Structure 1
Amino acid sequence: MASPEQLTSDDSRTLSIESFGSDFSSAARSVNEMTNDFMAMLPKLVIAAIVFLIFILIAYGLRKALEYSFSKDSRKSNLKSIFGRLTNWGVIFIGLMVSVAIVAPSVTPAKLLSVLGFGGVAIGFAFKDILQNFLAGILILLRQPFSIGDQVVLGSFEGTVENIETRSTIIKTYDGTRVHVPNGLVYTNPMVILTAYADRRSEYEVGIGYGDDIDLAVSTMLEAIKNVQGVRKTPEPDVLTVALAGSTVNLRARWWSDPQRADVLSVQHKVIRAIKLALDKAAIDMPYPTQVLLIHDQTEETDGDRTRQREGWPAGQNPPKARRSSIRLDSSNKSSSGDN
């Protein structure tokens, strides 16, 4: 006959075996249910995969079509890759949302877009400057206010546009340095495009003496400018009288040339040289700056009311008489010669 302790041990062993069997059967049912659910969902997965593959093929075709259409215009070469990629990823994203909606009908595109909208706001705040430069780059490439190869002035930078990227515009300065200017600054700040037109005007001022013939100087300068190689015949060059300066009559020469900086500087060098040689040949003076110094009591007898206070002597009825430095010099020279 079994003891009570043996009966208790057998009972516990029996209970553990029954519990294990119950857990195993429960796990088997779960696996079976998951298998059944997967098999029920398998057709949807296959359809979703096929739909997603179709969208990938559509994205590839649209990208190639856009690249081909943009390749016809060399000025839009940068737009080719940018819009090709944007279109490719946009169509793939739409295909992904449609595929998810097929597999899980409860997850609608509207719900996905709402979730992505909140995430997009957070990303927008975090990458505000990057997105600003990117959107400005797209607008620059679309509107094309300037092109690669144009010579521009942007802020303190002046040079030739080497490339226009989505983030920045690359400028090669005239001294051989490369500058990356963020597109946000390019789009929101004034830019001077030096090569926007086929002709560019240059000017230079020349001062002639007050005793020289202005008409002769103007005709001499015009003739010299017209004979310089590189000066445009149309519009014609001209010379204007612009100022009566302290020691010269200023004439401004204006002419048109090719807009490239190298041509502008080369033609300017030739024009200035030709003007100098022509004025020298015509015996037209180009005086140095001169000043006339008037000492306080060296005025004329007729120079105003000398009894009133003037600069150099006090007011009164017996003002000093006018004197000239030449008289003083002559008298000093005579006295010095008498001493000798």
Structure 2
Amino acid sequence: MIADLHRVLTAYWQQLLFVLPKLVLALVLLAVGLGIANHLSRLLGRRLHRRSADPLLADFLTRISQWVLGLIALLVALNVLGFSGIVGSLVGAAGVSAFIVGFAFKDIAENFLAGVMLAFNRPFHIDDTVQIKDLVGHVVALNLRTTLMRTFDGKHIFLPNSMVLKEPLINFTRDGDLRMDFLLTVEVGPDTTPDLATSIILRYLSTVPEVQQGLRTPYVNLEKATATTADLRVYFWGDAEDYRRGVLQFKSRLMQQVKQELLGAGLGVPALVG
């Protein structure tokens, strides 16, 4: 038994000595290949950022190039070790084994393909404010599998790309303009009609530079009226580039200023709702 064990160990040792040079060469080639892949992907990333106006697409293509070049380095190392059959299977990606692997990594492949579609379709850009289901925040990054979104209260949410692609997506800042509204209740009487309140509001809004005019002129709708009060809904367009803070502050400031204008004209404003 000891002789058989010695013979087996000797055979393994001889095989290791035979494979060791190839293994060392493969590891060296893999390390050099990964270094070259990282260097080339960084060069490509800098070039894409200089030439592209969309940093989201540039970052995504840079990551894809890094993975592709790294995979090529791995295939070369496997080929040096003599695993040409494995290399052929990986490159061919055919047969029952490929089907099993594809099924096992269905979600990963689905999210990757969804990320590619999002990168080229570009329903959002970096720092755009979007809503997906009940999640609202601004886009931070698009990765190979996930979309990173940061909510207004500082939470980072990693959404699967397939979910972002399938679910309805609301982009608040894509066009740079956003319609806002607020509801106010005005006291009315014989001398203070809803039309008078409306004219005061529109006259004031026409003097505010941040409120858009022309095709997107402000307007006021009468939603409810009683013998003593009228509920007026005020609609106006403003700049939505800084949705996280600027839009909300602008709307709040405008609500208070409209209230002061009505009070200055002798109209009571018992309620003001955003």
TM-score normalized with structure 2 length: 0.70
1:134 is matched with which residue? 112
Tell me the secondary structure at the aligned position of residue 121 of structure 1. helix
1:269 is matched with which residue? 252
Aligned residue type for 2:59 = N
**Unaligned residue ranges in structure 2 (runs of 5+):** 1-17
Q: Deviations over 1:133-154 (max 9, x none)?
A: 2221222122221111111111
Tell me the secondary structure at the aligned position of residue 107 of structure 2. helix
Aligned residue type for 1:136 = A
Tell me the secondary structure at the aligned position of residue 274 of structure 1. helix
Checking the alignment, whether the CA contact within 8 Å between 2:41 and 2:63 is kept in structure 1 is no
For 2:101 and 2:205, how far apart are their aligned partners in 1? 61
1:216 is matched with which residue? 196
Checking the alignment, whether the CA contact within 8 Å between 2:141 and 2:148 is kept in structure 1 is yes
1:172 to 150, 156, 160: 150
**Unaligned residue ranges in structure 1 (runs of 5+):** 1-37, 39-44, 289-340
1:206 is matched with which residue? 184
Q: CA deviation at 1:111?
A: 6.7
1:195 to 143, 166, 173: 173
1:249 partnered with 2:227: no
Checking the alignment, whether the CA contact within 8 Å between 1:257 and 1:263 is kept in structure 2 is no
Tell me the secondary structure at the aligned position of residue 257 of structure 2. helix
Alignment of 1:313-324 (within 5 A): none
1:19 is matched with which residue? none
Checking the alignment, whether the CA contact within 8 Å between 2:211 and 2:236 is kept in structure 1 is yes
Larger Rg belongs to: 1
Cα distance change, pair 222–112 in 1 and its aligned pair in 2 (3 A): closer
RMSD (Å), alpha carbons: 3.8
Tell me the secondary structure at the aligned position of residue 77 of structure 1. helix
Checking the alignment, whether the CA contact within 8 Å between 1:204 and 1:253 is kept in structure 2 is yes
Deviates more, 1:63-72 or 1:269-278: 63-72
1:155 is matched with which residue? 133
Checking the alignment, whether the CA contact within 8 Å between 2:146 and 2:161 is kept in structure 1 is yes
Checking the alignment, whether the CA contact within 8 Å between 2:129 and 2:139 is kept in structure 1 is yes
Higher strand share: 2
Q: Deviations over 1:51-103 (max 9, x none)?
A: x99xx69x859757744542322523312432222431454477679879xx8
1:79 partnered with 2:46: no
Q: CA deviation at 1:206?
A: 2.5
Q: CA deviation at 1:109?
A: 8.0
Cα distance change, pair 97–284 in 1 and its aligned pair in 2 (3 A): same
Checking the alignment, whether the CA contact within 8 Å between 1:240 and 1:251 is kept in structure 2 is yes
Tell me the secondary structure at the aligned position of residue 210 of structure 2. coil
Higher relative contact order (CA 8 A, sep 6+): 2
**Percent of aligned positions that are identical:** 25
Cα distance change, pair 257–113 in 1 and its aligned pair in 2 (3 A): closer
For 1:251 and 1:88, how far apart are their aligned partners in 2? 62
Tell me the secondary structure at the aligned position of residue 231 of structure 2. strand
Q: Deviations over 1:224-273 (max 9, x none)?
A: 22344633345554233333434533332222222022111111112111
Q: CA deviation at 1:174?
A: 0.9
Cα distance change, pair 168–109 in 1 and its aligned pair in 2 (3 A): closer
1:225 partnered with 2:176: no
Checking the alignment, whether the CA contact within 8 Å between 2:218 and 2:235 is kept in structure 1 is yes
2:266 is matched with which residue? 283
Checking the alignment, whether the CA contact within 8 Å between 1:237 and 1:256 is kept in structure 2 is yes
Checking the alignment, whether the CA contact within 8 Å between 2:223 and 2:233 is kept in structure 1 is no
Cα distance change, pair 169–108 in 1 and its aligned pair in 2 (3 A): closer
Equivalences, count: 239
